[in-house]
Chains A and B, each alone.
Chain A
Amino acid sequence: MTIALSSRMPSGSISRRIAVWSGLILFAVILAAVPWFSTFAVQRLLVEALTLFAIALAWNLLAGYGGLVAVGLHVFVGVGAYALFATSNQLHLNPWMLLPAAAVFAATFALISAWPMFRLSGAHFAVGTWVLAEMMRILTLNSPSLGAGGGMPLEAMGDFDRWTRNAGVYWAALMVGAGSLIVARAVLRGPLGLALMSVRDSEPAALASGVPVSRSKIALWVLCAAMTGLAGAVAYMNTLQVTPDASFSLNWTAAAIFIAVLGGIGTLEGPIVGTIVYFALREFFADYGAWYFIGMGLLAIATMVAAPGGAWSLLPQRWRFDPFRVRRLMPELGPDRHASTPALNHDL
């Protein structure tokens, strides 16, 4: 049993908790009610933002907490989307009911792929996952049963009217976005998070103190694959048609990396900040075509050189509050002292 120090902070007082929870519930109600007071275009944009947020969060968990940089994370976007489309079209089932199946399929695929991929480490793992994504792209491109290069539509979506379809996809995206944040927070506060952070700080030390290093990394890999696969499935429910070149496209990972780098790698707040910045930039500058991508690339390079911790690290130390309470502090230290040291007060 692990006690994250955040629960001992004075901020856990009853009145404050009530304020936080009522604020969260109000926010959730407003978000859930979006389909009644917005256009389809807004909903589609929000679906894009929420699914991309979940993918960026998964990339950030892998890179920032597991030390697993996956340049080929987009393989799970495609696998999740194709799993949903193929099973729904084959079995003529409601695609919303099949979303868990897409997540399970992506997780299974991740578990199998861990066998060759975890032979590689560091930068080699990063490029190795990209090889995996390329393989899956070429394979679907050459599979007539999956529609080959033209891809396939989600036939069951024709049974629903336009409002239900859009609202349903939006609610699914909301569940994916909020759900992955909740899961990520729970994981980081739990034993897996403790293990991962100890590996991040010093792998040999973690190994020596009995942390199951490779098992923890594989668990994180499978979890992030499920998150990415689910997000991919919902993202393609939004577009109604999946193609190999779009779903197994590096652009998914590039956007996720951009969001994580800009917001701050190794934090939960980073992807939230990054997603907002990413979509704001895209809405304003996407019309500039190639110049937009050149600007984005240069911005990412500048961030890596000047502020490798991303936007979140630019906040002054005392404003850097910990809304998700995933930071672990030594019991002797005051709550204002920043440290990523694992808690020592756990009774094993």
Chain B
Amino acid sequence: MMSRPAPKHAPRVPFALLMVALVVGGLATLLVLNTASAANELKRHDLTAKDADVAAKVEQLRNEVAASQAPGNLARVAAQLGMVPAGNPAFLQIAADGKVRVLGSPAPASAPPVAPPSSAHPHTSAAHPHGTASKSASESPNKSARSASTSASRSASKPASSSSAPKPPTSSTPAPDPTTMLPGGTR
């Protein structure tokens, strides 16, 4: 033991340090991984909740879109906006020689059957998921169609935009020029 020609073992201090470092490093890695796992779990939980939240909102919007697409609700909202069914329009047939023939009898659209509500916002009514078609809206198509047929013998003397709707549409269907009017249709 007196002489050391060559050390048989590595120095002990670095080895101990290495071991300590490995243990500490391993523990630290475990801690980091555990923390990351827990953090991811929390994130996953939050995202799942958010996902459910968004899915619920999408579902709700889908329901609202479907309800708004239903013709009953469309008709009611249109009536609230002061729109009226167009009825039966007249057609102009231009012959090869330039002569114009009127098919049908143009007549102004009739007044909306329901007065637009003064307070209700038009968009709120679309949100009713199961809004059944209101009876009042049902009267609209008939009135205008009837007025079109009863006034069939006369040619309209004023443009269609002069209907008694409270909110007349700004760009109405252009009425035929009175000078080209011919009486009656093919009745």
A-B interaction: no
The interface of chain B, by Cβ under 8 A from chain A, is: none
The interface of chain A, by Cβ under 8 A from chain B, is: none
